[in-house]
Structure 1
Amino acid sequence: MKVHIIAAALLAGLSAASLSGAAQAGSFGKACTAEPREKWMSLESIERIVADHGYKIAKSKVKESCVEVYARDKQGTRVEFFIDPTTGTPVGGDWKNPS
Structure 2
Amino acid sequence: MRKFSMFACAALVAAGAGALAVGSAQASDSEGGCGNAPKSQWMGEDAAKAKGVELGYEVRRVKVEKGCYELYAKDKDGKRAELLMNPVTGKIVGTDGDD
1:37 corresponds to 2:50: no
Q: Percent identity?
A: 33
In terms of fraction of residues, the more helix-rich structure is: 2
CA RMSD of aligned residues (A): 1.5
Work out the CA distance in 2 between the residues paired with 1:30 and 1:36: 14
SS in 2 for 1:91: strand
Runs ≥4 residues deviating over 6 A? none
Alpha-carbon shift at residue 50 of structure 1 (Å):
0.3
SS at match of 1:67: strand
Instruction: Report the alpha carbon displacement of residue 46 of structure 1 after superposing the two structures with TM.
Output: 0.6
Higher strand share: 2
Question: Looking at both structures, which has the greater relative contact order when contacts are Cα pairs under 8 Å and sequence separation is at least 6?
Answer: 1
CA distance in 2, matches of 1:71, 1:65: 19
TM-score relative to the length of structure 1: 0.60
Deviation at 1:85, TM superposition (A): 0.2
Gaps of 5+ in 1: 1-28, 93-97
Largest Rg, 1 or 2:
2
Aligned partner of 1:64 in structure 2 is 66
TM-score (norm 2): 0.60
Structure 2 unpaired stretches of 5+: 1-29
